[in-house]
Amino acid sequence: MINREERVQWALQKAQEYLDSAITNIQAGRKYPAAEDIFRSVESSLTAILYNEGIQTIEYDDWSRKFTGRQALQALIRENLQRTGIIEDIEYQTYRNLVNDLHHEGYRPGKTFDDSELLHYAKFAEDILIKARHFQINNMDIKQFVFI
């Protein structure tokens, strides 16, 4: 059975891999893969924070049904990170904007991504990854770090 620290480390490693891939894709002009990698990096970093907070599985039960996957992750981020102040409202809003601007828009025919938009969100992905690492390594009060 995988323990909490191993889950956190796995999520942090995935976040770094996605971020590295995003930067490579931006530099090579591959904007759609870069957008998806940025999105996945942020979600992996936030997953690491959830695991560090004691969440064992990415599941969310709203009393009418159980959610898994991305829907559950988004609910857990809202309920366990944003509403408790582990991530600031501005960080949560930036995450939600990223979901809309990069992930959802990537499925729209004819959508093009601007390099500055991708770089802005890549910086956010890096900041959230740093925040997750600080929280994991130092087990400190994560609220003192706010990135936008």
Do residues 29 and 65 make contact, with C-beta atoms less than 8 angstroms apart?
Answer: no
Question: Token pair of 103, please?
Answer: 């992930």
Which pLDDT belongs to residue 144? 52
6 versus 111: which is more confidently predicted? 6
Side chain identity, residue 108: R
Which pLDDT belongs to residue 140? 44
Q: Say if residue 1's pLDDT is above 90.
A: no
Q: pLDDT, tens digit, for every residue of 110-138?
A: 778 899 999 999 999 999 999 999 887 66
Which pLDDT belongs to residue 105? 74
**pTM recorded for the entire structure:** 0.87
Return d(Cα 148, Cα 146) in angstroms, integer: 7
Give the rounded distance of the alpha carbon of 140 from its chain centre. 20
User: What domains sit in the chain, N to C, each tagged with a CATH number?
Assistant: 4-143 (1.20.120.330)
In sequence order, the 6+-apart residues with CB closer than 8 A to the CB of 110 are none
Which pLDDT belongs to residue 139? 57
Side chain identity, residue 135: F
Buried b vs exposed e over 5-28: b needs ≥16 C-beta within 10 Å? eebbeebbebbbebbebbbebbee
